[in-house]
Structure 1
């Protein structure tokens, strides 16, 4: 079924395109934020995505506007995330020697912190231990953990949330100093 609003926007109606933006801007923002996890970056990327959608409208072939729009938004967000990662790698490469030494010290402190957490992990309920160890110790992503445990990413998020609550309730901050 051809959406008349999309068709009008495709034929050059700025009003129709503004209406499409109004109807879908929250959805597009959520798609982008889901990838970038940063409010400002997601807002900037949303603006860029709407420009891409506008410029790509002539190529749209009525295969489902929301799906098409989502694909553009998510692909752009992934590109932005890659650019941000490259930019931070470039910054690290340009750090002076003193800051590199500081980062070695930071790595050592992180390693000690991990070892301390490993000792305390014995007390954590089995249902939380696996996600805590995977996320904090082995530094796996939510997606990797979900794939390994054959569950949805949302399940991993929930397990980690509950595990953090358990740790706050049962561990004392002074034990980690």
Structure 2
């Protein structure tokens, strides 16, 4: 049998039977989902190297947990929940580590446009990460899957464990997640947003 011709459901079923002995089916499953998982993780941490490391951690958890997965058909939602939760765990650790670091006064940067833009992007990324840490995990998952990844509502419903026919429930949760993000962003990132507007106005003069 050619493994590449199997559906995801069939492949997951084979993995459940074969692991931890044979890993051929599992390796193919990783290949199929590596890019999607990486994008979900990156949508949370916004750092390439961190996202790569976390993605590897996600698939290690999948390897250990796959034999206990009850329904092969629930694999995609289960996988994305692991990816989002692992990324959020890592992000929270990063934020705690940064908050514990001794903050030293920084020298004034040279007024170079490219450098200013780079610093501003880094500040904005850092602020968005802090906002995500303030939201409920379900809200972060909904935002990443819908707004960053453009996933269909049917898929998001499986990740959030909402009955697929109740798309209105999923849409409402996404709407509330957006409102929560917007509120926190205004509270926590107003200074960075103002600097960005000023930089944009200067660049158009």
TM-score under structure 1 length normalisation: 0.57
Match of 2:54 among 45, 49, 53: 45
Bigger Rg, which one: 1
Between the two structures, name the one with larger relative contact order (CA 8 Å, sep ≥ 6): 2
More helix by share: 1
Match of 2:202 among 151, 155, 171: 171
Q: Pairwise mapping of residues 26-175 of structure 1 onto structure 2 (< 5 A)? A: 26-62=35-71, 63-92=73-102, 95=103, 99=104, 102=105, 141=131, 146-147=178-179, 168=200, 170-171=201-202
User: Could you report, residue by residue, the CA deviation over 1:62-94 in whole angstroms, capped at 9, with x for unpaired residues?
Assistant: 1521110000000000000011111112213xx
Cα drift, residue 171 of structure 1: 2.7
Equivalent residues of 2:37, 2:80 under 8 A apart? yes
Structure 1 172/38 Cα, relative in aligned 2: closer, same or farther at 3 Å? closer
Structure 1's consecutive aligned runs of 4 or more residues displaced over 2 angstroms after TM superposition are 139-146, 164-168, 170-173
SS in 1 for 2:70: coil
Q: Runs of 5+ in structure 1 lacking a partner?
A: 107-135, 154-163
1:17 and 1:35 map into 2 onto residues whose CA distance is 25
1:24 and 1:58 map into 2 onto residues whose CA distance is 17
TM-score under structure 2 length normalisation: 0.50
Structure 1 49/148 Cα, relative in aligned 2: closer, same or farther at 3 Å? closer
Report the aligned-residue RMSD.
3.9
Cα drift, residue 146 of structure 1: 3.7
